[in-house]
Chains A and B, each alone.
Chain A
Amino acid sequence: AQSVTQPDIHITVSEGASLELRCNYSYGATPYLFWYVQSPGQGLQLLLKYFSGDTLVQGIKGFEAEFKRSQSSFNLRKPSVHWSDAAEYFCAVATRDSGYSTLTFGKGTMLLVSP
């Protein structure tokens, strides 16, 4: 079965500094890859997704992610963090085994932004 690892439970970044959130997956082939963001008490919003092709994908709110097949990673980046980016971030995969019908999530990384 596939799994997703987000090694950092919490990350604190100063406003204006750059951000990288890590995500590694375990699956025999290349899955579909997603990053979601969740503000407190809210639902999940899709930031970006990767299916195939260019390994650097651009998303909303200035986020980007890079797929590295050799490292089974899909790390999320942002050049300059804003206080409004404070939220919980989830990496997720969908695999061919399930017909891409469901998602397997990592446990999330809570981003705190300091002034």
Chain B
Amino acid sequence: NAGVTQTPKFQVLKTGQSMTLQCAQDMNHEYMSWYRQDPGMGLRLIHYSVGAGITDQGEVPNGYNVSRSTTEDFPLRLLSAAPSQTSVYFCASTRQGGTEAFFGQGTRLTVV
């Protein structure tokens, strides 16, 4: 039981490049979400999903896309990376009812 797995752990992108951050969970949780963490800002919600085929925007969705084709996977796509997207990204999964969110170890992304 691995919990929530994020890949890669570190990534450097050039401005304008695209990439996908991977997130997978093996707990059969219905809810999954993506957050970004910036110094002094806490964690802010980017996108979330309450089930396969269902996604919605959070507080800071611009510049990011998500899809949820399976219960296990919830990738986050950066369409055209910008320096403002330099951040640490966390994926989380939660059982329906919201009793506890389990977080991945994070992806540290630098856009130059």
| A9, A32, A43, A104: the one within 8 Å of B103 (CB) | A43
Give the shortest distance, in Å, between B99 (CB) and chain A (any CB): 7
Closest 3 A/B residue pairs (Cβ) = A100-B98, A105-B42, A107-B42
**Residue B50 lies at the interface, judged by CB distance under 8 Å to chain A:** yes
Count A-B pairs with CB separation below 8 Å: 64
Alpha-carbon separation in the docked complex, A14 to B58 (Å): 39
Interface residue ranges, B against A (CB under 8 Å):
31, 33, 35, 40-45, 48, 50, 58, 90, 92, 94, 96-101, 103-106
Interface pick from A44-52, A61-69, A74-82: A44-52
Give the shortest distance, in Å, between A76 (CB) and chain B (any CB): 15
Q: Chain A: interface residue count, which band?
A: 20 to 34
Residues of B within 8 A of A43 (CB): 90, 103-106
| B35, B44, B58, B98: the one within 8 Å of A94 (CB) | B98
Give the shortest distance, in Å, between B95 (CB) and chain A (any CB): 10
Q: Report yes or no: B31 in contact with A101, Cβ–Cβ below 8 A.
A: yes
Interface residue ranges, A against B (CB under 8 Å):
4, 9, 32, 34, 42-44, 46, 49, 51, 90, 92, 94, 98-108
Residues of A within 8 A of B104 (CB): 43
Give the shortest distance, in Å, between B104 (CB) and chain A (any CB): 6
Q: Report yes or no: B45 in contact with A102, Cβ–Cβ below 8 A.
A: yes
Q: Report yes or no: B45 in contact with A101, Cβ–Cβ below 8 A.
A: no
Give the shortest distance, in Å, between B29 (CB) and chain A (any CB): 10
